Structures are given as structure tokens and as C-alpha cells.
Structure 1
């Protein structure tokens, strides 16, 4: 039997993994549960792990895996019209299960995106990549190859390919492709405060960059991640 806070945290982690393909940060979990410090989140995570609901993956920053959900929660979530989980997959069609490969789609890889210092704006297709249909929802999508390590604590590494749903809007906490002054593109977490936009890294070695809202245009939102080993 889970406490209310344990249940709320488990559901929040589950929903964020389904929406973004990566778990939330401890700061995001703290804010979502309206706790004053991250120590409370650590205690809740430990309790969920001890009860077999989640697993912390060793030697990886911000890596949580949902092992199971309480039956009542699983039934309730299954009845909701939610987007499918965006899994980390091997992009080679031969490595996909047959039922997923059958729904696979080719997406254009629009060059490289900086997870670090912004690089030149992306404008040309470099090649295509095969993506499971289960990773995609409604709308148009494209892929980008990640360069840099500023998003490693969000589970996004140098060399990964991110799948982006085209959109011009974002909610606070979304990982987005942001075009800065129509010249530079970067992959960062989006925060709006009035007429100011913060583009946050997920690596303490990089500072948060603050812009006026007319300097930043959202080009898309992260929905999946593809990693080759």
C-alpha cells in the first residue's frame, strides 16, 4: 500500500517518461509534489524502490525505470487517452520487433543540434532515420543528432538522436528545440517568466541562459530518443 505522496510521485514519473521519454529531475519532482526540499523526494524514491515499483539505474544521471504500477493506477491510466511511451530504441529496423517495425516511419534528420553552446540554425536534411510508429503521435516530426553534454542529466547524451514534434509553443519544463534570434538553435529545457524565457541546461557545468521572449522561437518539443550502442 502506497502513501498518497508515494502514489503521486510514481504517477508523475510515469507520465513524464511517457511524455518526454526521460524521467523528471528531482527539482521537477519536488515542485510537482509541492515539497520544500529534495530530501523528501529522495525518501519517496527510496520507498518506491524498496517496494519494487521503480529501479534506479547505476552509473547514469537521473535514470529511473518504472517496474510496475499499482493495479488501480494502471487500470485508471490505461483508460485515459494518453500518448504512448517514447522508448529509447535501436534505429535499425532489423532490431525492432516485427509489430513495431510494421508501423515504422522514416523521419528526416535535420542535421545536428547543440546540447551545449548554441550552434547554427538547422535548415537542411542530412539523411533519414527509421522510427517506431509507437514513438509518434499526431502532427509533424523530425529528428536531430545531439552534439554536446549539457542535457546529460535529462538522459540525453552526445551522439543520441532526438525525435521532435513540430510546435511553436511549449509549457514550462518541456525540453525544446529553441531558435535564438533566428540564427542559433539549441536543445534545452524551457521556462517562461513573464516576458523572459530561460533555456536551462541539465548539467551544472552550463549556466541557464535568459532571453526576452522576442529573441526565442520554439521549433519543436522532445517526444523520443534514439540511441545506438
Structure 2
């Protein structure tokens, strides 16, 4: 008898030696939600959760969606969602809808949670151009000089190089025509300023 999607999810999790709580933490859902998925309640699973779960379990997303009944374990790569455009200039609210997918090596996917973001603007030119996609590893802290995706005021997302100082941080553009933006430690807490993740790869578009 063919296995159900919920059976595949559970068996694959156990095969990889992962607990429901570990899956929940990485997909950013509750442990109870993972339990429901493994019990067959997957009708309302969002596309971002499908992509994240597939990456963690090293499965083709088609297995979870049921779109590809012949899909098997992905041999070398997994798909991650590309989220709404993020300005590389004056920040504006990031669109959270999935607009595309990119593949990353399975070895990379095992090291954390990844997603893609499409850049708008030229403040990170000439290295990162309007329309390019950056691959981001979700992490709350980065080293000074790293390029990151930062949330400003809680709902504005921007791509900038982060420089740490004793009394705050600066968000620096590659394009010298854009002035650095400095935030004090108090502003970081009040606005707030939040590091969403580190840019680890650039997918240039032509």
C-alpha cells in the first residue's frame, strides 16, 4: 500500500534522528503542529513551511504537496522560497509572499534555515543589483562587515552591510552615494532593529 504524506514525513524525521520539537523549532511552528502534520492534517500548511520542512527532511517538496507522486528524496539539492522584494535603498515593508524558488545544495540546507530575497534598488551596487536574489541564512547575530537582512521599525526590511560599534551599529551601503545609517543601542531596542539573517550567496539575474 502506498504511504501517505504524513507517514512519509514521520518516517523521514525518525530516519534522520530528529524529534518533533527539533522540526518545530527549525520550521518555526509549534510541536503540536508537527504532530498534526504527522497525523495527516496538512491541508493548511503554507508554502513557506512546505519548503522549509522539505529542506530539513531532505525531500522533494512535491512529496509533501502531493504534486509529484513519483518524487523521491532529493539527491543533491533542495528548493527554498524566494520571498517578496526587499529594498537595497530606503527601506519599505517587505512583502512576505513567495514569488519564486531557488535551489541550494543539500549540504548547505543541513546547516540551517535558508530563504531567498529579491533586491530592489541600487544602494548595494555594483555588487548586488536591482532584481538580484540573495540567499539568506536565518540567524540573529552576525560579524561586523557581514551583509545582512535587517528589519527596521519591526516591519521594514533592508539589505545592508552591518558594522558594529561600542554604542550601536551602522547600516552601510556598497554604493558610496548612500550615507551610512547609524543606530544607537537605545534605538536598536526601541525601534527595534533586528537582524533577520546573513546573506551567504548572490544569485545575479540578467
Match of 1:147 among 120, 126, 139: 120
Select the structure with the greater relative contact order (CA < 8 A; seq sep ≥ 6).
Answer: 1
Using the TM superposition, give the Cα deviation of residue 130 of structure 1 relative to its aligned residue in structure 2, in angstroms: 2.4
Match of 2:139 among 167, 183, 187: 167
Using the TM superposition, give the Cα deviation of residue 224 of structure 1 relative to its aligned residue in structure 2, in angstroms: 0.7
1:227 aligns with 2:204: yes
Distance 1:137 1:150 in 2: 32
Match of 2:165 among 176, 189, 193: 193
Aligned to 2:194: 217
Gaps spanning 5+ residues in structure 1: where? 1-100
1:157 aligns with 2:129: yes
Using the TM superposition, give the Cα deviation of residue 138 of structure 1 relative to its aligned residue in structure 2, in angstroms: 0.5
Using the TM superposition, give the Cα deviation of residue 127 of structure 1 relative to its aligned residue in structure 2, in angstroms: 3.0
- After the TM superposition, which residues 1-229 of structure 1 pair with which residues of structure 2 at under 5 Å, given as runs? 102-133=75-106, 136=109, 138-153=111-126, 155-212=127-184, 213-214=188-189, 215-229=192-206
Q: 1:151 to 1:130 in 2, by over 3 A?
A: same
Q: 1:133 to 1:156 in 2, by over 3 A?
A: farther
RMSD across aligned positions (CA):
1.9
What TM-score do you get using the length of structure 2 for normalisation? 0.57
Q: Which runs of 4+ in 1 moved over 4 A?
A: 134-137
Q: Tell me the SS of whatever aligns to 1:152.
A: coil
Aligned to 1:91: none
Gaps spanning 5+ residues in structure 2: where? 1-73
Instruction: Mark the structure with the bigger radius of gyration.
Output: 2
Using the TM superposition, give the Cα deviation of residue 226 of structure 1 relative to its aligned residue in structure 2, in angstroms: 1.0
